[in-house]
Structure 1
Amino acid sequence: MDNPLTLNRYTYTHNNPLRFIDPSGNHSVEHYGGGGGGGNVRFPSITNPKRVEVEYKPRTVKLSTSEVDTLRYKAMQKYYERQQVNTRGMEKPASVINNGRATIEAAKANPNEFNGKSVDEVAKMLKAQGYDIKIEASTKSRSGAMIIKISNTGGERNITQVQVSPGGGRHGESPYIKISTSDQGTIKIVNGRLENYKSQGPEKNTTIIFSER
């Protein structure tokens, strides 16, 4: 017996899976080369107890620009689908903002609530929920977005800021409203479809909801 670890059948590859693999399920063998399909695997041959070397190489696939765009779109679609909440069987919230609170579930149940509303109309909705607000022009937006700043977040009121964008900026032509909260992250409701939304990559701590599917 040259290795006590072989007595334990539950020990995988001598507790060293970075160096060894177990392709047959009967014994571990050394793995040479990096991950991703490159390199060589050395293992005992049935007819020859000496180690033999088997080479294998990763497959390279060339894609056209349209194929890359299609794959990127499908990846985005999966990303946004994972954020969706199944609301069947649940009582539909009356509004995105209920008793001063905005939630992801309520926004998904009412994705068209802000369609066509101006910043003044959104501000009026917030005032009705007990918020003290101040409207300012966004200094970062290229599309003329407006910011509704809130000074009395707390208690049941979880909204910290609201951005109303008319569209036409870096995310495409679709208007959207972005609600920042203290406990739900950022809720962005886009008045349009996913395929018309220009993603700049995953938006940190943001749930994006589209009014059309």
Structure 2
Amino acid sequence: MGADQKVVFVLELIVAIGPLAVYFLALGLLNSRPHPYLIGLRADFLLLSIAFFPLMVVPLAALAARGWLGSWFGGVAAMALVLWWAIQSGLGSGWVIYNIDGRHCLDAVGRACRRLGWETTEVGERIVVTSPKLEIQISTFSILRNVTLNVTISDGHELPGEVDRLGEALARELDAEALLPSPTGAGLVMVGSILLAVPMGYLAHHVEAVVEVVRRIFLA
């Protein structure tokens, strides 16, 4: 493998794995905070896309550049974009809360509703609000220690004004929630560090090739 190919491979590794490593590092730091962290559903999906898309796109682009995919790359890329657009368009109102478990999340949502003067009923992993007629569906993802909240009214439509009020009240409740450091946070930081070490290690191993290519560029 020549110097040019080594540098290209290093760049491909950095672009493919770098965002994912930063994503896991950020998750680890969020799960190490003394309070839960609230983020909008669409914003969370966008960050997730930024983290994982390069890992899927870069290998396909590399194969296409070497002529191994033929005309398939354009079709696969178009299908991926359509799927991404369909998913993000289908997202309703809600949030993702990091550094919290399902039970604490249910309690925090209940307190936020009472702060707003709403009467609630807890039904499994749902909180039903009598007036306004909201339903808050809670989905727990224990591996990353986060909880997703989807908010709708009973007939499936959204109430943006009421959802915004609930979000503000919930944010205040979460700020008052005191938590101990989570082992999940340390584990995610470790995963992110390992992922980041892969391209950095390869870069350090082939630094002479990088220097040679840079020298040729400036002396051209």
TM-score in terms of structure 1 length = 0.29
**1 or 2, which has the higher helix percentage?**
2
**1 or 2, which has the higher strand percentage?**
1
**Structure of larger gyration radius:** 1
TM-score in terms of structure 2 length = 0.29
Greater relative contact order structure (CA < 8 Å, 6+ sep): 2
